[in-house]
Structure 1
């Protein structure tokens, strides 16, 4: 079963190769992602995030999901010494850098709960999978028709942060300016929550983010810096 929908501002594709309730599982995934977009988008004035940012909600009134997301954001802010931020000067609350990976990982868990053991969920290039092997290409940061490498994952996730889709959209929270030092940062981890947040945080840190991400537990890294040097950790699951 394969399905593609545009949700949260990017294409989401789902492939399920097993399970008896494939359509029901797919329906649950896309319903959840649409719910996340409605509740957590800083661009929707009636979302929970927007209401919190305007001071219309007290901390005790927040949903458990938003409490969890904000706690994760704080963990990464502390771990990066401020490079990862969801409250930048002059801007409103924007937890999108955490919400994407967190919500897609939750969607993968919904699939597993409904009996799917072999699936690949691709959200704007970030992948959560089970029952592989699945081959995941890492795009060249400057040439759209080329790949830097191809990874092979079975149960886990891959996320890439780069400039090539949205320009200088990742900001170093320590300076308030667009992050510099890296062209792309790819992280392989057991969950997309970890992979996506680590890739974004490392990119915000710049060149020092490579070593930081590589030192994270259960994370493997493939990175290209602005000098076009390639870095990869020893355990990176490169396809044969």
Structure 2
């Protein structure tokens, strides 16, 4: 997946938590083996070349592609599991993998877990009594600065995902043209219960641009967002303030 994952795990029985953590890490390595578009022998690469049928692939491949198809439907095609007309579910895999890793640890009985995959975060529970998870949102126009701090106070599950050009340049494609998205945005941060969808929605909204992206994000249930334009204008959904702190 080309990024670093970190875990913050609180509570639970030590033996069970250690086993779940090992399982979660092994699962991330397995996801990389299956989905890497940089590995010629990955199942996604072989599927894209027509060397494998979907039925011959690991069930995780079908699950991710099904989720991607749902994201494409909800976003009216602004999210896609193809990159320049080639199968590439990268836009959904990282968020899905981090969410699944966090779910494995929650199932082990932890009181709180935060999994960070390259800056996109899935949180469950609390880090300690009377304290909520908090995630800083980097300011893309001011290196080292923060645009906002998201709080998970009052939520048993919350995810934060950002798409933009600050870290990876113009890597987001307009699915209609197959070329880099022409947009007035430099970053979109989405807050939602699950990281799979937060990641997808941030990517789709970025490709849409600030006006259409904000309007679309406002229509999604349980979703809040912060959008930053190249002109240093900050736009946000109506309920985002309740998630800042």
State TM-score, norm by structure 2: 0.89
User: Once structures 1 and 2 are overlaid, which stretch shifts more, 52-61 or 30-39?
Assistant: 52-61
**1:164-218 deviations in Å (ceiling 9; x for gaps):** 1100011111122222221111111111011111111111222211211221111
- Indicate the residue corresponding to 1:139 in structure 2: 138
Indicate if the aligned counterparts of 2:141 and 2:232 stay in contact, CA closer than 8 A.
no
CA distance in 1, matches of 2:70, 2:21: 31
* Secondary structure in 2 matching 1:10: coil
Instruction: Give how far 1:24 is off.
Output: 2.1
How many residue pairs match? The answer is 232
**Structure 2 gap segments, 5+ residues each:** 127-131
CA distance in 1, matches of 2:4, 2:193: 22
Instruction: Give how far 1:30 is off.
Output: 1.0
Instruction: Give how far 1:41 is off.
Output: 1.0
* Secondary structure in 1 matching 2:88: coil
Is it true that 1:198 corresponds to 2:201 in the alignment?
yes
Instruction: Give how far 1:75 is off.
Output: 2.0
Root-mean-square deviation (CA), in Å? 1.6
- Indicate the residue corresponding to 1:82 in structure 2: 77
- Indicate the residue corresponding to 1:185 in structure 2: 188
- Indicate the residue corresponding to 1:156 in structure 2: 158
Which of 103, 119, 128 matches 1:109?
A: 103
After the TM superposition, which residues 8-157 of structure 1 pair with which residues of structure 2 at under 5 Å, given as runs? 8-21=1-14, 22-89=17-84, 92-132=86-126, 133-153=132-152, 154=155, 155-157=157-159
Indicate if the aligned counterparts of 2:135 and 2:149 stay in contact, CA closer than 8 A.
yes
- Indicate the residue corresponding to 1:4 in structure 2: none
Instruction: Give how far 1:119 is off.
Output: 1.3
Instruction: Give how far 1:238 is off.
Output: 3.7
Query: Displaced runs of 4+ in structure 1, greater than 3 A?
Result: 237-240
CA distance in 2, matches of 1:13, 1:58: 34
Indicate if the aligned counterparts of 1:80 and 1:205 stay in contact, CA closer than 8 A.
no
Instruction: Give how far 1:81 is off.
Output: 3.1
* Secondary structure in 2 matching 1:184: strand
State TM-score, norm by structure 1: 0.91
**Structure 1 gap segments, 5+ residues each:** 1-7
